[in-house]
């Protein structure tokens, strides 16, 4: 594939996603090795290579946590977060990082302060990795959020953070109308802001440590005609140097949204976004390296001479020169949101999503070829994983209010075409004096790829149907019952295999279907006294089969196994992952306090684990299913002790989470039995504590956040682990007011990692070791400073 991205099928679509705002008539981990990033995790579109053989009443919604204004507002099992909370974070911060900071049970990790580094970011929700959480934007399924996903798009690249209106979280089974193939551990719904009725705009400029800059601008047309047509266009550019080592991380985003009202209660809306990421990544660490003073270990870039000489001397054991990624995404949706009658509401969404990704590193194990005019070949080459996906889908649902019932029914259809390949490009000899390739491309400076290792292609088709009824026998009781039917089929696999490189006569190819005709969901919400609620929720869910190419680590896939014979053995003996989630809770809301506590139990069946026993470059030999049993409790308390006077703006938030999750069977690899049964799950802390203290007075606001994460298990046998840590963030803002056409002039200042703690953030990006150690963890960012000036006009 040439470096230039081929024209994407989405470019011609003026698609957009619907706003999740209801109308009046509506009832109120991946990837491959970083030393090799997955063969499909990091890639872009594929070029044509010469293949070388060489080396009414409110319905009761299932356990939903949302985030809204200055406090988290909860109704029933639902809480919400909106821009007032998000504004306490540095503009451009990954919205999932924001959500995690104030949500019990969520654990977000990243190697950078803002959570934008694609390789070193991850989210766990009550023990479930983010490839098992259902995430949607304006109803568009985003699905798997892990690095290099071929089943969705990462939220931080799908929408500009400033344009998010609100976020809601369901940490139980999730509602049956959640359209997702990854909804095992709960769901997250994101809604984009609507265009303003008045013409105007917003601008902001962020400055920070390590030459960080972020520029954001948005223009709203206001109502353009008597029918109320309105739209906005928006652009954001974030650029920063890495906080350790050399290299730059650049992200650009553009988006537009248009809304056409129809009458009083209906509308058509369109949303489209584009993002372009070019990032030098952070170096993977191991426990032994960290324990022996390697906290600051990094790639050798830009010292190509040193990397060259080390590759000559040590070959594949040499320190790496560089690593990173380049990615381009398009996402769009068009929504028809219609009030057919006073009691009948119909909503239909058409969407499309395209992604190309190149994930790279300079590989000292595979030398380049001799370039024309050169006398020697470079002892290293640029290894590039190139992936591409194109998703097209639609959802359609109806909601009908009759008597004491709210009845909903709908469907979801999606077609996803996926591709992954691995290629090697020439680096120049040191004697030539030519510049080495950049990890962000272009890669064909010195010709096309001289070797292709493999090429995988799949097609995934998904269909989901749901039906639910929420019964309101009395005004303070909601009883919800429903089910969904889900079938998702993935066909394909290896299309080309360089046997000299893979050592296998044939790589995995075949079809897998995950099907469930009846996945039930039942929930009850009882508001037995003013401000007091009891809720109960139980649901069964299923996850589709994920795709990865040969040897890819980070998330288990049947197609990543050693060869076709292993795949065939697993094909008929590996059921789709399913779980039962049980949740019971209590919530109290008043003007002085908000308190919630819930307990949950999960039985997770046929959870795939990677048999991580290959080499660092292609570590996965096989996968094995196991069960997981999980028990947990989350509790949160927000106090607003003063309702008048100078202390009115004081609020205090505290939450604590406990999770005990264990594997249900031992695993065998290479003839060795590993004692995994009853061992704690990896990468997720058993105990988390989160606190926030905020004080606001007139135009001033200050806040401090302190989060604690307990020890996390690193190996499946629990013989290695990562220590606990505290993370403290401080922030302040002052609103200067209006100055002529400039309105709401505001200055923000924040300090990330105030105590300058040393801690491990991301774990398992290259998979987790069965026992012992592995280069598969990232260090969290040191203390960072940020300041932002913003205004409305």
CB within 8 Å of 485: residues ≥ 6 apart: 464, 465, 466, 516, 517, 518, 519
The Cα–Cα gap between 114 and 753 comes to 11
If you write DSSP's letter for every residue of 530-560 in order, what string do you get?
A: TTEEEEEEEEEEE-PPP---TT--SS--GGG
pLDDT at res. 141? 97
Residue spans of the chain under pLDDT 50: 1-71
Structure tokens at 675: 């004692």
Q: What is the CATH number of domain 64-792?
A: 2.40.170.20
3 state SS for 346-367: EEEEEEEEEEEEEEEEEECCCC
pLDDT at res. 293? 77
The Cα–Cα gap between 51 and 422 comes to 11
pLDDT at res. 741? 93
The Cα–Cα gap between 429 and 378 comes to 5
Cis omega (within 30 of 0) for bond into 383: no
SS3 (DSSP) at 305: helix
pLDDT in tens, 602-658: 999 999 988 766 555 555 677 889 999 999 999 999 999 999 999 999 999 999 999
CB within 8 Å of 149: residues ≥ 6 apart: 30, 41, 131, 143
The Cα–Cα gap between 31 and 325 comes to 13
| Backbone torsion region of residue 744, taken as left when φ is above 0, otherwise alpha when ψ lies between -120 and 50, otherwise beta | left
Structure tokens at 174: 């999730």
Answer yes or no: are the C-beta atoms of 152 and 142 closer than 8 Å: yes
How many other C-beta atoms are found inside a 10 Å radius of the C-beta of residue 496? 14
The Cα–Cα gap between 734 and 618 comes to 51
pLDDT at res. 72? 54
CB within 8 Å of 53: residues ≥ 6 apart: 498, 499, 500
Q: State the Rg of the chain over Cα.
A: 26
**What's the gap between Cα 110 and its chain centre?**
11
- The pLDDT > 70 percentage for the chain reads 89
If you write DSSP's letter for every residue of 392-459 in order, what string do you get?
A: EEEEEEEEEEETTEEEEEEEEEEEEEEEEEEEEEEPPPGGGTPPPPPTTS---TTSS-SEEEEEEEEE
The Cα–Cα gap between 589 and 595 comes to 7
First and final C-alpha spacing in the chain: 45
The Cα–Cα gap between 318 and 618 comes to 17
Cα 206–Cα 210–Cα 212 angle in degrees, nearest 5: 20
The Cα–Cα gap between 577 and 557 comes to 12
**How far is CA 607 from each of CA 107, 124, 171, 557, 666, rounded to the nearest angstrom?**
20, 15, 18, 11, 13
Structure tokens at 240: 């920063």
Of how many residues is the chain composed? 793
pLDDT at res. 617? 52
**How far is CA 677 from each of CA 370, 557, 667, 716, 718, rounded to the nearest angstrom?**
52, 21, 8, 9, 11
pLDDT at res. 82? 83
Closest to 613 (Cα-Cα) out of 572, 560, 574, 565: 560
pLDDT at res. 225? 96
pLDDT at res. 65? 40
pLDDT at res. 172? 76
The ranges assigned to domains in the chain are 64-792
**How far is CA 446 from each of CA 60, 312, 450, 452, rounded to the nearest angstrom?**
61, 20, 10, 16
Closest to 127 (Cα-Cα) out of 535, 663, 676, 778: 663
Structure tokens at 594: 């908000």
Structure tokens at 355: 């992604």
pTM: 0.89
């Amino acid at each position: 594939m040439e470096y230039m991205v081929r024209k994407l099928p989405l470019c011609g679509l003026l698609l957009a996603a619907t706003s999740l705002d209801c109308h009046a008539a509506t009832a109120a981990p991946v990837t491959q090795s970083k030393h090799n990033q997955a063969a499909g995790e990091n890639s872009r579109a594929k070029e044509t290579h010469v293949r070388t053989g060489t080396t009414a009443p409110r319905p009761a919604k299932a356990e939903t946590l949302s985030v809204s204004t200055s406090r988290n507002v909860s109704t029933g099992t639902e809480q919400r977060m909106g821009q007032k909370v998000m504004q306490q974070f540095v503009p451009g911060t990954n919205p999932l990082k924001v959500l995690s900071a104030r949500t019990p049970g969520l654990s977000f990790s990243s190697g950078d302060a803002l959570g934008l580094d694609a390789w070193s970011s991850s989210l766990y929700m009550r023990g479930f990795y983010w490839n098992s959480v259902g995430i949607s934007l304006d109803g568009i399924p985003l699905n798997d959020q892990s690095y290099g996903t071929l089943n969705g798009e990462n939220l931080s690249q799908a929408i500009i953070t400033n344009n998010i209106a609100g976020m809601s979280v369901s940490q139980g089974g999730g509602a049956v109308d959640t359209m997702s193939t990854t909804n095992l551990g709960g769901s997250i719904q994101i809604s984009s802001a609507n265009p303003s009725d008045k013409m105007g705009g917003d601008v902001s400029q962020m400055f920070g440590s390590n030459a960080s800059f972020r520029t954001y601008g948005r223009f709203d047309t206001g109502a353009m005609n008597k029918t109320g047509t309105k739209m906005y266009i928006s652009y954001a550019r974030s650029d920063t140097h890495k906080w350790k080592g050399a290299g730059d991380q650049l992200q650009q985003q553009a988006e537009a949204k248009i809304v056409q009202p129809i009458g009083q209660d209906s509308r058509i809306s369109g949303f489209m976004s584009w993002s372009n990421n070019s990032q030098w990544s952070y170096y993977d660490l191991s426990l032994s390296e960290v324990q022996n003073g390697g906290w600051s270990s990094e790639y050798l870039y830009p010292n190509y001479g040193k990397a060259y000489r080390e590759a000559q001397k040590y070959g594949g054991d040499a320190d790496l020169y560089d690593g990173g990624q380049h990615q381009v995404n398009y996402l769009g949706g068009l929504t028809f949101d219609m009030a057919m009658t006073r009691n009948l509401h119909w909503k239909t969404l058409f969407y499309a999503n395209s992604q190309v990704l190149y994930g790279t590193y300079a590989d000292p194990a595979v030398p380049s070829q001799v370039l024309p005019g050169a006398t020697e070949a470079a002892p290293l080459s640029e290894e590039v994983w190139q992936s591409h996906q194109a998703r097209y889908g639609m959802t359609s649902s109806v909601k009908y209010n009759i008597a004491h019932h709210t009845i909903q029914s709908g469907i979801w259809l999606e077609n996803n075409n996926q591709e992954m390949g691995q290629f090697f490009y020439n680096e120049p000899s040191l004697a030539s004096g030519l510049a080495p390739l950049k990890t962000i491309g272009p890669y064909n400076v010195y010709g096309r790829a001289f070797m292709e290792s493999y090429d995988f292609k799949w097609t995934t088709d998904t269909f989901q149907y749901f039906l639910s009824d929420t019964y309101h026998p009395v005004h303070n009781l909601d009883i919800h019952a429903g089910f969904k039917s889900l079938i998702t089929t993935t066909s394909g696999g290896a299309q080309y295999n360089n046997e000299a490189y893979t050592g296998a006569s044939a790589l995995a190819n075949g079809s897998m279907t995950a099907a469930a005709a009846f996945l039930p969901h039942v929930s009850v919400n009882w508001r037995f006294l003013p401000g007091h609620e009891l809720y109960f929720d139980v649901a069964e869910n299923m996850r589709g089969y994920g795709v990865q190419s040969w040897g890819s680590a980070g998330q288990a896939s049947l197609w990543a196994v050693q060869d076709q014979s292993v795949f065939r053995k697993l094909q008929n003996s590996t059921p789709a992952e399913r779980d039962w989630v049980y949740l019971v809770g209590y919530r109290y809301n008043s003007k002085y306090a908000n308190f919630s506590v819930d307990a949950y139990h999960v039985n997770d069946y046929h959870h795939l684990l990677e048999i991580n026993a290959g080499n660092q470059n292609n570590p996965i030999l096989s996968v094995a299913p196991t069960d997981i049993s999980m028990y947990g409790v989350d509790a949160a308390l927000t106090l607003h002790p003063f309702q008048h006077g100078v202390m009115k703006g004081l609020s205090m938030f505290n939450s604590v989470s406990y999770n005990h999750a264990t594997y249900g069977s031992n695993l065998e690899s290479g003839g060795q039995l590993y004692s995994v049964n009853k061992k704690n799950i990896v990468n997720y802390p058993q105990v988390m504590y989160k606190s926030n203290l905020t004080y606001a007075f007139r135009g001033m606001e200050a806040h401090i956040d302190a989060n604690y994460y307990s020890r996390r298990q690193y190996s499946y046998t629990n013989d290695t682990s990562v220590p606990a840590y505290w993370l403290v963030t401080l922030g302040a803002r002052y609103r200067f007011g209006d100055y002529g056409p400039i309105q709401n002039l505001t200055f923000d200042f924040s300090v990330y990692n105030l105590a300058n703690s040393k801690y491990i953030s991301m774990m398992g990006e290259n998979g987790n070791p069965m026992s012992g150690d592995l280069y598969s963890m990232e260090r969290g960012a040191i203390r960072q400073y940020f300041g932002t000036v913003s205004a409305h006009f």
